[in-house]
Amino acid sequence: MASNALPGCCNCFGRAPPDAGPHHRRGEREMIDKRWSAVPVGPDADRWVTRRGCRTVLVVVHTIVTGQRLLDVLGLVEEDHAVQAVFTQAPDVFSEGVSDLLRSAGALEIPWEQAVRERFDLGLAAAYGGIAEVHAPMLVLPHGAGHAKKTPLAGTGAPGRRSVYGLGPEHLVKAGRVVPASIVLSHEAQLAVLAEQCPEATGVALVAGDPCFDQLAASAGHRNDYRRELDIGPDQELVLVTSTWGRHSLFGRHPELLGTLLSQLDPDRYRVAAMVHPAAWAGHGRRQLKAWLAEERAAGLLLIEPETDWKAVVVAADRVIGDHGSTTVYAAALGKPVLHTDIPLGELDDESAQAYVGRHAPRLLRFQPIEPQLHQAPPANWGPQVAQRLTSRPGQAHRLLREEMYRLLRLPVPGKHRAVAPASLRTHGGRGV
């Protein structure tokens, strides 16, 4: 097995107090060992596994959003009999729900404390927290629609200067070393930003396009199937309200909007669905979020659970009201008519698809009747204009990512690349909307 404990590492995390006796330390170690997996990774794993000699892939999951992205990408290699995947939950503010997601997906999970003491042939992540501690060549993907949001540049002495999140040295470099072995970008424009912000990382950058956009495009032909599963009538339009997380989000600033929509729109002609970022579910709790929306749900609101494959819902939608979150951008890239709410252009990279949507989509006027606004025609050539800012490798992401993962695994790419599978309203564990 390629995964072995690091030389000299003990099978424990943390330390006993300096004055702790041997019984305390032994009890701590025994407690920890019970949580650790002896198979399929670990120094004695070869004694227990059925298939030996597999390359090991560690999937580092920080949040539900990153987990969904990584589960989709892992599918490009995990069916290979030479590959063994294991999962771990990395520390994150919004980690609530990750264990449930992995359990429903049937994933083999090992504790983070064990994961950072093993060696792996490949690591996959869609966030940055703790990845420098992982002993594997790391492939890091964006967990949303490219790299668009700005973040303060650390240690520059220029308080007004902003960098694009995920493309600066504060995320990519530790102790003078570029941490990822491969940095996946969706667009050539992001490569230029990376060259400006963190030039030492350009040598490991891969412009691979956007796998979510490619799957959305592959799912378009299944629109009627999704609408039937969502119980949308043939004469109804689905109005999708999508919100990112945080106090500047649609749900954070305009929680009354959903009730207003439900009161203004004829339920025989319209269904209203809400898709709230999983970080809001994690930050407030599933029970609390549902309680806040109890009246709206009773009035007919279709509340999309955070584990649901959101791509199917976007394809099913007729019209979208959204903020600066990624889902709004993906809907626009499909050509969906979009009304936006308060997109903070100063927080976005000017060249991003998010900024383009903010500059060109009509803004929702909340104190005017909403139905006439929904039927405004989108700008000319709307979908292609957004899409060409979202990805510069349309239709190629899955092939390019598969080839890159096999390169890092030091294995030949087997067989032919398969067509992109359409999205499903079922979650990875089989649970529906």
pLDDT digits (tens, 9 = 90+) for 222-239: 999 999 999 999 999 999
Q: Give the pLDDT score at 160.
A: 52
Whether the predicted pLDDT of 70 surpasses 90? yes
Q: What is the mean pLDDT of residues 184-211?
A: 95
Whether the predicted pLDDT of 50 surpasses 70? no
Can you list the pairs that 140-143 forms with residues at least 24 positions away whose Cβ atoms lie under 8 Å? 140/180, 140/182, 140/183, 140/184, 141/69, 141/70, 141/73, 141/184, 141/401, 142/166, 142/184, 142/185, 142/186, 143/63, 143/65, 143/66, 143/69
Q: What is the mean pLDDT of residues 90-119?
A: 93
Q: Give the pLDDT score at 143.
A: 87
Q: What is the mean pLDDT of the chain?
A: 87
Whether the predicted pLDDT of 422 surpasses 80? yes
Residue ranges of domains in the chain, CATH in brackets: 22-212+397-409 (3.40.50), 220-390 (3.40.50.2000)
- Predicted TM-score (pTM) of this structure: 0.86
Q: What is the mean pLDDT of residues 283-309?
A: 95
CA-based torsion, 274, 275, 280, 282: positive or negative: positive
Residue with tokens 């019970």: 34
Whether the predicted pLDDT of 19 surpasses 60? no
**Integer angstrom CA distances of residue 127 from 19, 53, 180, 204:** 38, 29, 11, 17
Element (H, E) at 271: strand 270-276
CA-based torsion, 315, 321, 323, 329: positive or negative: positive
Q: What is the mean pLDDT of residues 133-145?
A: 95
CB atoms closer than 10 angstroms to residue 363: 12
**Coil, strand or helix: which one is 72?**
helix
Q: What is the DSSP letter of 417?
A: P
Q: Give the pLDDT score at 119.
A: 95
Which tokens go with 359?
């500059």
DSSP string covering 175-211, please? Answer: TTEE--SEEEESSHHHHHHHHHH-GGGGGGEEE---H
Q: Give the pLDDT score at 347.
A: 72
* pLDDT > 70: percent of the chain: 86
Residues facing 270 on adjacent strands: 237
Whether the predicted pLDDT of 191 surpasses 80? yes
* pLDDT > 90: percent of the chain: 71
Residues facing 274 on adjacent strands: 241, 303
